[in-house]
Structure 1
Amino acid sequence: MFENAMTGKGVNRFDQAEFGAHRAAHVAQMRAKIATYQPGELTDAEREDLLLMREEEKIARDVYVRLHERWGLRPFANISGSEQAHMDMMLALLEHYGLPDPAHDLQPGKFHKAALQKLHDDLVEKGLQSQENAVQIGLLIEELDIADLQKALAHTAKPEIRAVYAELERGSRNHMRAFYRWKQHMGIDYRAAHLPQDELVRIALSAHETCS
């Protein structure tokens, strides 16, 4: 029962189309919100955070696509689509501020920075070893995203940047909840690496959040 509900097998294509339409509408909504603000001068920290979060969302998308291809677990298919929406929101911010896109024309799994390439490759390598490892990688990516978004949020007072970061963090909390349910079902041990353990558990066991 759990497997049928949680794997990607037999997922109705119209359900997937509905997910895609919802995400596209949400990205359009965020683009419109960003456009209502005049872009001001960015601090060095703000600029670095914007570029990093664009690439960090790409890492999440690319890893999840690869792990879904290997294991066919439904969360990886659904969440990789959400990560694409997160990438699109970050791109909207880069365009708003006239920043170059560090992910422009890069194929899945490819990154300019050696550190990001290694991070991606290490995550994929571990996730391909077993389904249990794959679920652990999902949790690891989401808590890294949340931790980095919280840091980036503290670096800026610009409302359009804060709005996007808040949406990405909300999404990452929902993703963490999905992977945590798999962790519980499969009896996997997982210890937080980027957040306090009690914060991870609190988020994972709290209610699903809807898009703002």
Structure 2
Amino acid sequence: MKILFIKSVLCFLILSMFNAYAAGPKSKNTTPSLALPEDVVAGLTLMREEEKLARDVYLALYTMHGTAIFSNIANSEQSHMDALKKLLDRYALNDPVGANLEGIFTSADLQQLYFQLLATGSSSTLDALYVGATVEELDIYDLQRLLTEVETNSDIAVVYENLLRGSRNHLRSFHKLIVKNGGSYSPVFISQTHYDDIVNSPMERGRR
């Protein structure tokens, strides 16, 4: 029941969070040649903090449980954060992460989500793995949606594609350990068919 509850909370928070990003201040850019549509700016801003959420949650879960997958994937999430920071800098956009320390977020919704994920993942290693799978399928859902908004921005699309590939690989890794630990996971952000297609296919090569 707990994992179903956290998924319900996630759905509500993510909807609120995206609406907040879409409505808030977007850019300090004044160069017309670098101007981006507001929905693209909102997407970049969202993903920058969402990748920080993944990194910070995994670092905390590694401290709690000592399971290597959390430390390993946290390193990948840092690479994802760095790639998004380069895009923010390229387009002279405000960085929502700034100097925020681990576990601190500009978005109040992300802050609440961080604490909820840790509360769920603290119960057991299996619950922590469920949290990992939830975070990765959320990334997949958001990246697929955002890719439809950057068809004319190839540099952003390339970064999103790399992040999406990495998230699929991470989901495969979490799924493997969930099964190994006797658990089962039902996705909420992507369809069961899509989830099965991902976890039953080989690891993808390329940047993670």
Aligned-pair CA distance for 1:145 = 0.2
Does 1:146 pair with 2:140?
A: yes
Moved over 4 A (4+): none
Q: Secondary structure at the match of 1:67?
A: helix
Contact 1:39 1:97 in 2 (8 A): no
**Cα distance per residue 1:132-160 (max 9 Å; x no partner):** 10000000000000000011101112000
Does 1:129 pair with 2:123?
A: yes
Counterpart in 2 of 1:103? Answer: 97
Q: Secondary structure at the match of 1:104?
A: coil
Aligned-pair CA distance for 1:189 = 2.1
**Cα distance per residue 1:73-114 (max 9 Å; x no partner):** 111010000000000000000001000110010010011211
User: 2:184 pairs with 181, 189, 206, which one?
Assistant: 189
* Cα distance in 1 for residues equivalent to 2:203 and 2:158: 19
Aligned-pair CA distance for 1:40 = 3.2
The CA RMSD over aligned residues, in Å, is: 1.2
Aligned-pair CA distance for 1:71 = 0.7
User: Once structures 1 and 2 are overlaid, which stretch shifts more, 116-125 or 52-61?
Assistant: 116-125
Counterpart in 1 of 2:86? Answer: 92
* Cα distance in 2 for residues equivalent to 1:164 and 1:39: 20
Percent of matched pairs sharing the same residue: 39
Counterpart in 2 of 1:171? Answer: 166
* Cα distance in 1 for residues equivalent to 2:169 and 2:33: 30
Counterpart in 1 of 2:175? Answer: 180
1:159–1:39 Cα change, 3 Å: farther
Unaligned runs of 5+ in 2: 1-31
* Cα distance in 1 for residues equivalent to 2:83 and 2:161: 11
1:159–1:114 Cα change, 3 Å: same
Counterpart in 1 of 2:194? Answer: 199
Letter in 1 for 2:168: R
* Cα distance in 1 for residues equivalent to 2:113 and 2:126: 19
Contact 1:39 1:96 in 2 (8 A): no
* Cα distance in 1 for residues equivalent to 2:181 and 2:167: 21
User: Given the two structures, how large is their TM-score scaled by the length of structure 2?
Assistant: 0.82
Q: Secondary structure at the match of 2:145?
A: helix
1:39–1:85 Cα change, 3 Å: farther
> How many residues matched?
175
Counterpart in 2 of 1:58? Answer: 52
* Cα distance in 2 for residues equivalent to 1:166 and 1:85: 14
* Cα distance in 2 for residues equivalent to 1:179 and 1:113: 26
